[in-house]
Structure 1
Amino acid sequence: MGLGDRRVTATTERLPATRTQSRIVAILALATVLGGLGVGASLSAGALLIVDITGNDALSGLGSTMNAVGAALAGMPLARLAARRGRRIALASGNAIAVLGAVAIIAAAAAGASPLLFAGLAVLGVASAVQLQSRFAATDLAVPENRARDLSLVVWSITIGAVIGPNLITPGEAVGEALGLPGLAGIFVFTIGAQLAAGLVVWIGLRPDPLIESRRLAAVARSADAVRPSGDGPHPEATAGRGRRAQFLVIALIALAHATMVGIMAMTPLHITHHGGSITLVGFTISLHIAGMYALSPVFGMLAGRIGTRPVVLLGFAVLALAAVGAGTGGESMPVIQTALVLLGIGWSMVTVAGSALLTEVTPLEVRPRRQGQSDTIMNAAGAVFGAASGAIFAAGGFPVLAGVAGALIVLGVVATALLRSRRDSVH
C-alpha cells in the first residue's frame, strides 16, 4: 500500500469515530446525570447523618471532606485501570465501588457506627472521581477544535444531579422508614440505584470504548505517516521534555483554581450566619454558586474552541480574582457575597473546562490517562487541604484574610498559565 493509500485509509477510519463521538458524549452525560443524583443527595444527607450519629455539629463538614479524600484516592487507580482496560471498565468499576460505599453508610446508620460511616462516605467519593474521569473520556475521540465543547457538555450534566439530588432527602427518609432504617439512611438507597443505573449505562452504551478506539485510530494515523524524512519535526526527546513541563503546569493551574474555589465556598456559610443570615439564605447562596459552577460550562467549552484554551483559563483566573475581591470586601452585604459566589463558580468552571481540554491537548495519547488521573487526584487533594485550612484562616482574619490567601493562589495560577507556550509545548 502506498503512502497516499494509507492516508486515505486514515481519513476514512477517522469518519466513523467522528460519527460515534456524539453518541459517546450522550452516554457519558446520561451516566453522569444518574450518578450525580446519588452524589448530590448523599453530600447533603451525609452531613446530617454525621450529626445524628455523632451528636457533634462540628463534625458535619467531614462529609464533604471524606468525599474529596475518596475522590482523590480513586483518581490514579481509575486512570491506571482505564489505561489497561479502557474507559468503560474503569468507569463502571468506579460506579460499582461507590455502591459499596453507600451500602456501608446504610449499615453504619443502622448500627450507629461513626467510623464505618466516615469510611463509607470516603468510598462513596469514588463516584465523584468517576464524574471527573467521564469528562476526560469525552475528549478521547473528539476532534481537537471540539474537545473543550464535548468535555463541557459532560461537566454541565453534573448540574442536574447537583440541583435535584438534595431534593430527594424527603422521599429518601420515607423509604428509609419503610425499610426499618433511620430516615436519613433511605437517601442512600436511591444512591445505590443511581450508581447501578449509571454503571449499566456505561457498560452497555460505551461501545466502542473511546480510549481503546482512539488508540486504534492513532496507530492507523502513525502507519500513514510512517514515510517521512528523518529530519522533519523536532527531536523526540526535546518534544517529550517540553510536553511533560506543560502537562504539570496545567495540572498545577487546575489544582490552584479548585483550591481557591473550595476554600472560599467552604467558609461562606459561616460568614453568612456570622452576619445574621439564615440557613435558608445559606442554601440559596450555595445553590447560586453551584449554578455558576456548572450551568454555563458548555458556553466556556465553545469559547475555548473559538479563542483557545489558554485565553479562557486566563479569563477564568480573572473572574476568580473578582470573586475573591467581592468575598473579601463584601462584609454584611449579602448581594455582594452572592455575586462573589456566582463569580467563584463561573471562574472555576472556565479554568476547569478549558484546563482539562488543555491537559488533553498537551499530553501524548499513550500517557494521557495517567496524567488525567494525576490531575484529578492533585485537584481533589488541593481542595481538601485548602478547604481544611480555610477554617483556621477564617478564624484568624475572616473573609478578608481568606480572600487574600486565595488571591495568592490565583496569582500562582496565572503564572503557571503564562509559563505555558502552547505552540512549543503542545503534543498533537
Structure 2
Amino acid sequence: MTSTASATTPTGISTRPVAQRRVLAVLVGSQILSGAGLAAGITVGALLAQDMLGSTDLAGLPSALFTAGSALAAVVVGRISQARGRRPGLAAGYLTGAVGSAGVIAAAVADSPALLFIALFVYGAGTATNLQARYAGADLAAPAHRARAVSTVLVATTLGGVVGPNLAAPTGDLADTLGIPSLAGPFLLSGAAYALAALVLALWLRPDPLLLARSLDVQQRAEGAEGTEAETALARRSGLIPGALTMILTQLVMVAIMTMTPVHMHDHGHGTAASGLVIAIHVGAMYLPSPLTGWLVDRYGRMRIAVASGTTLLAAGLLAATAPGDSVALLAAALALLGLGWNFGLVSGTAMITDAVPLATRAKTQGMVDVSIAIAGATGGLASGLVVSTAGYPVLALTGGILALAVVPAIAATASSR
C-alpha cells in the first residue's frame, strides 16, 4: 500500500521523473534483447522457407506472415495493456514471439512447411511488441519530453538489431551441434531473446507506466486541474488523424522502396555484399538518429518534423529514382534519407498520438494505429514488386516520394482548423 499511496498523494507527483527514469532503463534493456531476437529471425526467415520448399516462389511469404501476425498482435497487446497495464501487455507479446520462435525450430526439425508458416505468424507478435514498447516510454514523460522518451526506446532497438544478424553464423553452428537445421539456428537466439525480454519486463517494469500515469492524472483532476487538462486534450485531439497518417504513409513508402532496392541492385550486377551494406546503412538511419529526432520534435513541434518527414522521403525517392544503377554510394545515400524520413515520421507521429489520446483509451487506440501501420507496410511490400515489374524501380521510388508528401496537406489542414 505504501508504494501505491505515494504515487497518488500530492507529494507523489514528484516521483514521476524518478519512475520515468526507471521505466526507460527497463525498456532499453528489453528493447536491446528484443531487437536481437527480431533481427536474427528476419535475417534467415526467407532463406529457411526457400530451403524447406525447394523453391523461391513463396520465399517472400515469411515477411507477409510476420506482418500479419504483427497486425493481430498489435490489437491484442494494445487491449491487454489497456485493461491491465503495459507490463503484462508487452510481456505477453514477447512471450508469444518466443513461442513462435520455438515453433519455427520445431518446423525445421520436422521439415513441415505448414508448421513453419503458422509459427512465423505467431513469431510476428515479437515485431508488434517491439514497436509498441515506444508508447510505454512516453506514458510518464512530460509533454515537452515525450518525443525524446520515444526516441530513447527506439534507439535501443538498434543495439540488438546490430548484434542479431552478426550471430546468425554462430547460432547456425550451435544448431548443427544440436541436430537442428543450421538455418533455424538464429531462431534459437530469437526465442531466448524474446523470453528474456518478457522476463525483464515482468520482473522490473514497476511501477507500470500506464497505470501510474492514470493514477497521477486522477490526482491532478482532483486537485482542480481538470479544466486545464480538458482544454489541453481538446486542443491536441486534432493531432490524432495527422499523427496516424504520418506513420502510415512513412511506413508504406519506406517498406516499398526498401524491399525492392536489393532486387534493383541485383539486376544491375551488384552482389549481396553491396546490397547488404546499403540496407545496413538504411537500418542505421532508421534508428540511430532517434535521440536527435526526439529533441527536434520536442523543440520545434510535432507538425514541423512530420512535414520534414514527407520532404525527406521525397528527396529519398528522387535520389533513388535518378541514381545510376551501378552507383552504390548514391543508392546508399538514398536509402539513408529513406530511413531518416521514416524516423522523423515515426517519432513525430507517435508523439502526436500520445498527445491526442486520453489515458483512458490510450493503449487501445495506439494498438489500432499500429495495426494500420502494419497493414501499410504489408501493402507497400506487396505492391512494390508489381510496380517494379510493370514500370521499373525509378517509377516506384518517384511515386513513393510523391506519395509521402500527402503528409503536408494533412498537417496544413490540421493547423488551419485550430
Same fold at TM > 0.5: yes
Which residue number corresponds to residue 119 of structure 2?
120
1:263 pairs with 256, 266, 287, which one?
256
Distance 1:95 1:125 in 2: 10
Q: 1:421: how far off?
A: 2.8
1:348 pairs with 335, 342, 345, which one?
342
1:31-50 counterparts in 2 under 5 A? Answer: 31-50=30-49
Distance 1:233 1:198 in 2: 35
Where in structure 1 are there 5+ consecutive unaligned residues? 1-8
1:18-33 counterparts in 2 under 5 A? Answer: 18-33=17-32
Distance 1:259 1:10 in 2: 45
Q: Which moved more, 1:92-101 or 1:403-412?
A: 403-412
Distance 2:32 2:332 in 1: 26
- What one-letter code is carried by the residue in structure 2 that aligns with 1:293? M
- What SS is found at the alignment partner of 1:59? coil
Which residue number corresponds to residue 4 of structure 1?
none
Which residue number corresponds to residue 368 of structure 1?
362
Flag the 1:207–1:111 CA change in 2: closer, same or farther, 3 A.
Answer: same
Which residue number corresponds to residue 13 of structure 2?
14
Which residue number corresponds to residue 5 of structure 1?
none
1:153-232 counterparts in 2 under 5 A? Answer: 153-225=152-224
Q: 1:418: how far off?
A: 2.1
Flag the 1:233–1:57 CA change in 2: closer, same or farther, 3 A.
Answer: closer
- The answer to whether the Cα contact below 8 Å between 1:10 and 1:221 also exists between their aligned partners in 2 is no
- The answer to whether the Cα contact below 8 Å between 1:312 and 1:351 also exists between their aligned partners in 2 is yes
**Runs of 4+ deviating beyond 6 Å:** 232-236
Which residue number corresponds to residue 306 of structure 1?
299
Q: 1:270: how far off?
A: 0.7
Q: Does 1:388 align with 2:387?
A: no
Q: 1:357: how far off?
A: 0.9
Q: 1:227: how far off?
A: 8.2
For residues 319-339 of structure 1, what are the alpha-carbon distances to aligned partners after superposition, in whole Å with 9 as ceiling and x for unaligned? 111000011111322221110
Q: 1:249: how far off?
A: 2.7
Which residue number corresponds to residue 334 of structure 1?
328
- What SS is found at the alignment partner of 1:366? coil
Q: 1:113: how far off?
A: 1.2
Aligned residues: 410
Which residue number corresponds to residue 297 of structure 1?
290
Which residue number corresponds to residue 319 of structure 1?
312
Q: 1:10: how far off?
A: 6.8
- What one-letter code is carried by the residue in structure 1 that aligns with 2:290? S
Q: 1:235: how far off?
A: 8.8
- The answer to whether the Cα contact below 8 Å between 1:63 and 1:121 also exists between their aligned partners in 2 is yes
- The answer to whether the Cα contact below 8 Å between 2:315 and 2:401 also exists between their aligned partners in 1 is no
- What one-letter code is carried by the residue in structure 2 that aligns with 1:330? A
Distance 2:310 2:338 in 1: 10
2:398 pairs with 397, 401, 404, which one?
404
1:358 pairs with 333, 352, 357, which one?
352
**Amino-acid identity (%):** 37
Q: 1:300: how far off?
A: 0.3
- What one-letter code is carried by the residue in structure 2 that aligns with 1:223? A
- The answer to whether the Cα contact below 8 Å between 2:10 and 2:219 also exists between their aligned partners in 1 is no
Distance 2:256 2:398 in 1: 11
Q: 1:422: how far off?
A: 9.2
Flag the 1:423–1:34 CA change in 2: closer, same or farther, 3 A.
Answer: farther
- The answer to whether the Cα contact below 8 Å between 1:250 and 1:416 also exists between their aligned partners in 2 is no
Distance 1:338 1:281 in 2: 9
Q: 1:371: how far off?
A: 1.7
- What SS is found at the alignment partner of 2:406? helix
- The answer to whether the Cα contact below 8 Å between 2:236 and 2:356 also exists between their aligned partners in 1 is yes
Where in structure 2 are there 5+ consecutive unaligned residues? 1-7
Q: 1:120: how far off?
A: 1.1
- The answer to whether the Cα contact below 8 Å between 1:322 and 1:343 also exists between their aligned partners in 2 is yes
Q: 1:248: how far off?
A: 2.5
Flag the 1:226–1:177 CA change in 2: closer, same or farther, 3 A.
Answer: closer
Distance 1:404 1:26 in 2: 40
- The answer to whether the Cα contact below 8 Å between 2:317 and 2:399 also exists between their aligned partners in 1 is no
Flag the 1:196–1:157 CA change in 2: closer, same or farther, 3 A.
Answer: same
Flag the 1:415–1:109 CA change in 2: closer, same or farther, 3 A.
Answer: same
| TM-score, length of structure 2 as denominator length | 0.94
- The answer to whether the Cα contact below 8 Å between 1:289 and 1:345 also exists between their aligned partners in 2 is yes
Flag the 1:223–1:180 CA change in 2: closer, same or farther, 3 A.
Answer: same
For residues 117-164 of structure 1, what are the alpha-carbon distances to aligned partners after superposition, in whole Å with 9 as ceiling and x for unaligned? 122112111111111111000011001111000110100011112211
- The answer to whether the Cα contact below 8 Å between 1:175 and 1:187 also exists between their aligned partners in 2 is no
* RMSD between superposed Cα atoms in Å: 2.0
1:62-73 counterparts in 2 under 5 A? Answer: 62-73=61-72
Distance 1:259 1:411 in 2: 12
Flag the 1:273–1:357 CA change in 2: closer, same or farther, 3 A.
Answer: same
Q: 1:376: how far off?
A: 0.8
